[in-house]
Amino acid sequence: MRVVLPSELQPGMKLARPVYSLTTGALLLREGTIIKAGHRDLLRGHSCTPIFISDGEDNGGAGAGSLQIISYADWVSTVAALPDGPEKLLYLQCYRTVNEIFAGYRAGSVPDVGAARDVAREVVGRLFQDPQLWLQLAMLKDLDQYSAAHSVNVCIFSLFLGFHLGYNQRDLVELGTGALLHDVGKLDVPRAILSKPGKLDAGEYDMVKQHPVSGYRRLQQSPAAGECVLSIILGHHERCDGSGYPLGLSGARIPQKAMVVAICDVYDAVTTDRAYRPRMLPHEGMEVVMADSTRGKLDRDLVLVFLREIAMYPAGTVVELNTGEVAEVVEVTPGLPLRPVLRVISPPQSRGRVYDLASKPTLLITGVIGRHGPAA
């Protein structure tokens, strides 16, 4: 698989991935499309997502075989290796707070909404002092998709999206609190169902679909849980076309903050390892979110803001390329968050070489290795 420019398309080429408009979010060409003469002119008139062409020997997503499942111990060691600073300490504080809330929930206690709101307020206060580091922290995953790490990551992504939607500080704090607690009801679902490596049967899926209601009812017992937080917990699985749950709400009936968390929840879920598949790369996760918006499930306008404003490969991220080289992201290209500027780390003979992926269409990111440190 390789990336080509619209001008390089030739009749007979086969698209390995769908192509979307970055302006409207519309699906321009489906995966598997065989390019014809008119397709090149169509894409020339649009600002679009990267065009991936199949070489006839692909067997899945780019770099799928190079991704490794991350254990809890690996996650902890990865966090510990990050540069010391207030952001790292606050991230760990968020993680501990959510873990404590989860433990209390399992024991039958009413979740401490006040504690979640306190850490959300602190994150809002520090988020944009070093936004690249916060986005890098949000890329840290452990094997348990329903862990505290998932909740904290969804919180970070949601706050970035809320900021770019113009939310004031009070709204951001409520958004962050709801995002931290959005999946608390899953603690009432048997763990064997949540970690099942295959498809759920109808009865199991019905149990999973009850988690928003379960979390909502428990949070109703807390005087600190306001209407906004409750609406996020109840509504983060609703979909614009009415196909979601638990209420089957559609369109404007879905609270916007619940839809913000829904988008970030989907993105973090598909870019997190599962027992039955490795996690997707950031650009692959964005394709899933874009596809859901095209099908009318996620709000298209919010998805476009998410795509344009949130760097999928923040500065400091260490990535592997299809050339076998390892490189560090040194700059995020405005308007092209999926095609950053890289500086090669290895092999030694290539060290220091700079690649601007926006002008190198055949260079592909095939894996995310970790964080190298602040970009020079």
Query: What number of other Cβ atoms are within 10 A of residue 81's Cβ?
Result: 11
What confidence category does residue 143 fall into, taking pLDDT thresholds of 50, 70 and 90? very low
198, with CB counted inside 10 A (0-12, 13-18, 19+), is exposed
Cis bond before residue 246 (omega within 30° of 0)? yes
- Res. 176 pLDDT band, cuts 50 70 90: very high
Report the pLDDT value the prediction gives residue 370, as an integer from 0 to 100: 65
Cα 139 to Cα 127: distance, rounded to the nearest angstrom: 15
Given pLDDT bands bounded at 50, 70 and 90, which one contains residue 135?
confident
* Residue 119 Cα to chain centre, angstroms: 21
DSSP assignments along 53-68, one per residue: E--S---SSTTGGG--
Residue among 88, 66, 22 nearest 279 (CA): 66
Write the pLDDT tens digit of every residue in 2-35: 767 777 788 889 888 777 665 555 677 877 888 8
Q: Taking 70 as the threshold, does the pLDDT of residue 349 lie above it?
A: yes
Provide the 3-class DSSP secondary structure of residue 184.
helix
pLDDT of residue 281: 79
pLDDT in tens, 270-315: 887 665 566 787 878 888 898 899 899 999 999 989 988 887 788 8
Distances (CA, A) of 58 to 52, 61, 283, 325: 11, 8, 17, 20
320 beta partners = 326, 367
Q: How confident is the model at residue 53 (pLDDT cuts 50, 70, 90)?
A: confident
- pLDDT band at residue 70 using 50, 70 and 90 as cut-offs: very low
The yes-or-no verdict on residue 240 having pLDDT over 90 is yes
pTM for this entry: 0.74
